[in-house]
Amino acid sequence: MTDQNLAVIILAAGEGTRMRSATPKVLHTLAGIPLVGHVLATARELHPAHVIAVVRHERDRVASVIGETLPEAIVVDQDEVPGTGRAVEVALDALPQDFAGDVVVVSGDVPLLDAGTLGRLIEAHRAAHCAATLLSAVLDDASGYGRIIRGEDGHVDRIVEQKDANESELAVTEINSGSYVFTVDSLRAELSHVGTRNAQGEKYLTDVVGLLRASGSTVEAVPVGQSWIVGGVNDRVQLAEAAARLNALIVRGWQLAGVTVHDPATTWIDLAVTIAEDVEILPGTQVKGATKIDRGAVIGPDTTLVDCEIGENAIVKRTDATLAVIGKGATVGPFSYLRPNSVLGEEGKIGAFVETKNSTIGFGSKVPHLSYIGDTEIGVQSNIGAGTITANYDGVNKHRTSVGSHVRTSSHNVFVAPVRIGDGAYTGAGTVVRKDVPAGALAISVAPQRNMMGWTEEKRPGTAAAEAAAAAGESEN
């Protein structure tokens, strides 16, 4: 049910220069989802009446992702005035004038902050009738963070940013996480008094805390139990740390749901993945995108699946697959490469060093090894010999190959598309199929073998091969 007295403001305007990237910081991904996408998902779980995202750097790119992730969110632009205080100020202007509830403010680069933690913060804020309540954390090393300075009564007195702190303030280890709940009337009133006379020349949201205390309002800080919950992502190191933390939680969740993960440290699973009970995941496996794995499948080792569907009891090992469908009881690998729109039917096989693309391989059919199958339809219970290539490209256009059911093709075949091989047909070793093969026919395209006697001794005199041939000739005589 929507909380009509709750609004969420997401700060996503920063450039994120420490990422050293052409990609806006909040669009870097974690478990397959942009950082800001995690924050938007958390906001959605709070069921607020309003969600407002503040953008500036790479405005259109960030706004596009926000709109796709949470269409009901309102996107507003921060102006030339820098600072989180100004960002919140422009967000408040987008709220209905009659909104009189509470405002949660979170950063778009804090992906692991969950709705449960924020929900408890809101409850504490409302129970104590505070003007502002913020999340804090106690760190062994608080370098770089704003410090929470408490008064003699234990309540929050003010927040001092790192660059503005004196020696005693820098010794404080309780830090501001950048996540808040404000009573909207108090926030509106005090933001108008916040200036930019500080070390960074910015309009700090944190200055509101001191102003509220000066006016006699109550401000509380609620520490989180584990500091990583409120950890921000400011560079690639912190991105990797957050990714490892989130992945450990995801893997553990699937283990508790009945999935065997042999080596959690080398197994990576995106948030959108779906895995059934009794799936087994071997070391070195990445399961990405919206991949779905059915019961009893064995995945890995050393396998990457992106947006794939894996059927019940299928086996996929040492394989790279994207947008592929693998049927029930089918086997893939090792060293297989399944490109988009590869479909392997039930009990089928794609074997070692096989590449497929935009092809459907029917029930029980096999491409065991060393082959390229592209733009092809293969019927049921057919077997494609080693070293087969579907020549699907004429330099301008792609063409399709059709292989019927119960077909047996020999090694080192080339099917020059467009071509059809009928049901029950056979092909000889080394055959280049340039025209349709009727059902039940045998296609061959090899010339009669001709042996040129004495060629090595005549054309390669003095070589080891010539000497070996001469010795063999003498022994035969």
The SS3 assignment for 406 reads: coil
Give me the phi and psi of 82, to 5 degrees please: -80, 160
The per-residue pLDDT for 204 is 87
* Sign of the CA dihedral with 85 first, then 113, 246, and 250 last: negative
Q: What is the mean pLDDT of each run of 10 residues along the chain (477 residues)?
A: 96 92 96 98 98 96 97 95 93 95 97 97 96 93 88 86 88 92 95 83 87 91 93 94 97 98 98 98 98 98 98 98 98 98 98 98 98 98 98 94 97 97 96 96 89 92 93 75
The per-residue pLDDT for 477 is 61
**Enclosing H/E stretch for 320:** strand 319-322
The per-residue pLDDT for 159 is 87
Residue 325's DSSP bridge partners are 309, 343
Of 364, 363, 386, 372, the C-alpha closest to 336 is: 372
Give yes or no for a contact between 419 and 436, defined as CB atoms under 8 angstroms apart.
yes
Q: What is the pLDDT of residues 253-306, one digit of tens each?
A: 999 999 999 999 999 999 999 999 999 999 999 999 999 999 999 999 999 999
Domain chopping of the chain, boundaries:
3-230, 236-443
The per-residue pLDDT for 465 is 94
The per-residue pLDDT for 142 is 87
Give yes or no for a contact between 376 and 403, defined as CB atoms under 8 angstroms apart.
yes
User: Which two three-digit tokens encode residue 317?
Assistant: 């090992």
Q: Which of 28, 50, 125, 369 is catalytic?
A: 369
The SS3 assignment for 221 reads: strand
Give yes or no for a contact between 309 and 332, defined as CB atoms under 8 angstroms apart.
no
DSSP secondary structure of 93-139: HTS-TT--SEEEEEETT-TT--HHHHHHHHHHHHHTT-SEEEEEEE-
3-230, superfamily in CATH?
A: Spore Coat Polysaccharide Biosynthesis Protein SpsA; Chain A (3.90.550.10)
- End-to-end CA separation in angstroms for the chain: 98
The per-residue pLDDT for 206 is 86
| Rounded Cα–Cα distance for residues 19 and 40 (Å) | 21
Angle at 127 between CA 126 and CA 133, to 5 degrees: 55
The per-residue pLDDT for 476 is 67
Exposure letters 24-51 (e unless 16+ CB within 10 A, then b): bbbbbebbbbbbbbbbbbbbbebebebb
Of 177, 141, 175, the C-alpha closest to 160 is: 175
Whether residue 418 has a cis bond before it, omega within 30° of 0: yes
DSSP secondary structure of 157-180: EEEE-GGG--HHHHT--EEEEEEE
406 is catalytic: no
**Percent of the chain that is helix, strand, coil (3-state, to 5):** 25, 30, 45
Whether residue 264 has a cis bond before it, omega within 30° of 0: no
User: Which two three-digit tokens encode residue 105?
Assistant: 């403010």
Rounded to two decimals, what is the model's pTM? 0.90
Please state which CATH number belongs to domain 236-443.
2.160.10.10
